[in-house]
Amino acid sequence: MQDTKTALIIGCDHAAFSLKEKLKDFLISKSISVHDAGTNSEDSVNYPEFGIKVASGISAKKFERGILLCGTGLGMSMVANRFPHVRAALCSDVFSAIMSRQHNNSNILVIGARVTGDILAEAILNAWLDTPFEGGRHQLRLDQFDNVNDLI
């Protein structure tokens, strides 16, 4: 990210608590401030509650970018993408994370902790943080997200 002091918001369910703690340490080591929306243990919780906390913060522009973690990443991406202006990208490889920024201007990175190992997750996050949106024709395509009724 351009401004290394920009605050991120991060959230997870019980399946990804351990990964959340590791990625928080990684963010702090990069001097990126992070708001932790929970969960804060491995006790079973319902992932939508934490997905909603993060996605609503992005949708309301309280935070520029966010991270969501669950077992597969599927549930978190499904719930996050229900919110206006949220573009949540489920990534299990570095290339997709880079493309999700360059072409899709993703504002939430989603990772499945039962799919992606900790070291790879850190590399995915690092690439996602450092890759800018390319704009241009990609912005025109993103604008179409808000005009679905005109395009049916």
Residues that bind ligand RB5 (CB under 6 A): 13, 15, 47, 70-72, 74-75
Given the complex with ligand RB5, which of 78 and 99 has the nearer CB atom?
Answer: 78
Q: Report in angstroms how near the CB of residue 63 gets to ligand RB5 at its nearest.
A: 22
Tokens of 22: 């590791």
Taking the CA atoms of residue 115, residue 118, residue 121 and residue 127 in that order, the dihedral angle to the nearest 10 degrees is: -160
Tokens of 57: 């913060």
Cα–Cα distance between 32 and 26 in angstroms, integer?
9
Cα–Cα distance between 136 and 37 in angstroms, integer?
33
Given the complex with ligand RB5, which of 17 and 32 has the nearer CB atom?
Answer: 17
Q: Report in angstroms how near the CB of residue 12 gets to ligand RB5 at its nearest.
A: 8
Q: Report in angstroms how near the CB of residue 118 gets to ligand RB5 at its nearest.
A: 16
List b or e across 94-105, with b for residues whose CB sees 16 or more CB atoms inside 10 angstroms: bebbbbbbeebb
Given the complex with ligand RB5, which of 83 and 129 has the nearer CB atom?
Answer: 83
Given the complex with ligand RB5, which of 38 and 71 has the nearer CB atom?
Answer: 71
Cα–Cα distance between 68 and 108 in angstroms, integer?
7
Catalytic residues: 70, 103
**Where do we find the tokens 């918001």?**
9
Q: Report in angstroms how near the CB of residue 110 gets to ligand RB5 at its nearest.
A: 10
- With CB atoms as reference, the residue minimizing the distance to ligand RB5 is 75
Candidates 126, 47, 48; CA nearest to 91 is 126
